[in-house]
Amino acid sequence: MLKDKFEFREIQQDEISQAVRIEQICFPPHEACKEEHMTERIQKVPELFFVAVDKETGKVAGFLNGIATNEEKFRDEFFTDADLNEPTGKHVMLLGLDVLPEYRGQGLAREIVSQYVERERVKSREKLILTCLPKLVEMYIKMGFQDEGISGSTWGNEEWHEMSYLIPQSQYVAKAKALFREGYNCSQAVFLAFEDLYPIDRTTALKLSSSFGGGMGRLREVCGAVSGMFMVAGVLYGYDSPVDHDAKANHYARIQELAKEFEEANGSIVCRDLLGLGKAKESPNPEHRTESYYKKRPCAELVEMAVAIMEEYIVKNA
């Protein structure tokens, strides 16, 4: 099992030199990203730089990295300008799948791509886009990519094919998105998305989760989507004994794990921070749900992400 041999995770800053060296080994000089561009990308967008580390040696064996964006087409500026990264972008422009020669032939590249897809699905990404030379088109098709034809990229004075991978969204994410669009608050949308997994009727579930929208009754404290995620975790995994210290500690660790994943993706779990609001007290009156509301607020995306994180946890712990 590759998971027994390799640790898969976000790159660390002290691994920059390894990544630069691997890029130089895996690509000829006219195709490889320059050291300064690789360094800047890792410093500014480490969350999209995914590495496989040999557990025996502690060295990076391969990686996949990219830039998030809402753009639909690949352009060469993504290679050179890390400031083009849009943290909440629906697409990821992949800028290099690198595996050292001594680690090839065991499916490591495929595993890196597979885990990358899952990581970005949790963040509600919709599509991965990359460019490759004609000789590699078939390899990427086998990994699930679709050939979109000749790209507009002229990187390294080569002709490239543009490849895309549609990231499948889960039934739970789709349900939460629909619930939020119906007008239910962020906490209700997340909690109700998993209603088939717990023995609580819908009316009761909606009332239980109704207080946490808008960061707890529009107090702009902990994000309602996060609270809804915690409620799901409590119903499915929580403790009920007042004297079971281990069960309490384990559950608190579970909640902190879920919170950490959400915070790493968004910078905070606090509503006012996520929305860029000040600390002034807000009216308890909710805003009307118009198309303008959905465009200016990231709440729908945060709901989707909370559901995806919770679903990933459920699957891993089945």
HEC letters along the chain: CHHHHEEEEECCHHHHHHHHHHHHHHCCCCCCCCHHHHHHHHHHCHHHEEEEEECCCCCEEEEEEEEEECCCCCCCHHHHCHHHCCCCCCEEEEEEEEECHHHCCCCHHHHHHHHHHHHHHHCCCCEEEEEECHHHHHHHHHCCCEEEEECCCCHHHCCCEEEEEECCCCHHHHHHHHHHHHCCCHHHHHHHHCHHHCCCCHHHHHHHHHHHHHHHCCCCCECHHHHHHHHHHHHHHCCCCCCCHHHHHHHHHHHHHHHHHHHHHHCCCEHHHHHCCCCCCCCCCCCCCCHHHHHHCCHHHHHHHHHHHHHHHHHHCC
Q: Which residue has the higher pLDDT, 281 or 181?
A: 181
Average pLDDT of the chain, as a whole number:
95
> What is the C-alpha to C-alpha distance for residues 74 and 174, in angstroms, rounded to an integer?
27
> What is the C-alpha to C-alpha distance for residues 11 and 224, in angstroms, rounded to an integer?
30
Residue 216 scores a pLDDT above 90? yes
pLDDT-above-90 percentage for the chain: 85
Residue 280 scores a pLDDT above 80? no
How far, CA to CA in Å, does 204 sit from each of 139, 173, 191, 195, 207? 50, 21, 11, 11, 5
Query: What integer pLDDT is reported at residue 30 of this predicted model?
Result: 96
**pLDDT, tens digit, for every residue of 224-242?**
999 999 999 999 999 999 9
Q: What does the domain layout of the chain look like in residue ranges?
A: 2-166, 171-316
This prediction's pTM:
0.68
Query: What integer pLDDT is reported at residue 1 of this predicted model?
Result: 79
Which class would CATH give 2-166?
A: alpha beta
**pLDDT, tens digit, for every residue of 154-204?**
999 999 999 999 998 788 998 999 999 999 999 999 999 999 999 999 999
Half-sphere exposure of 6 (CA within 13 A, CB side): 23
Query: What integer pLDDT is reported at residue 76 of this predicted model?
Result: 97
Model confidence band, residue 27 (pLDDT cutoffs 50, 70, 90): very high
Residue 128 scores a pLDDT above 80? yes
Residue 292 scores a pLDDT above 90? no
- Are 78 and 93 in contact, with CB atoms under 8 Å apart? yes
Question: What contacts 78, CB < 8 A, 6 or more positions away?
Answer: 67, 69, 84, 93, 95
- Are 86 and 68 in contact, with CB atoms under 8 Å apart? yes
Model confidence band, residue 289 (pLDDT cutoffs 50, 70, 90): confident
Residue 125 scores a pLDDT above 80? yes
Query: What integer pLDDT is reported at residue 119 of this predicted model?
Result: 87
- Backbone CA torsion sign across 74, 77, 82, 87: negative
Query: What integer pLDDT is reported at residue 169 of this predicted model?
Result: 78
Residue 294 scores a pLDDT above 80? no
Residues 95-117 have a mean pLDDT of: 96
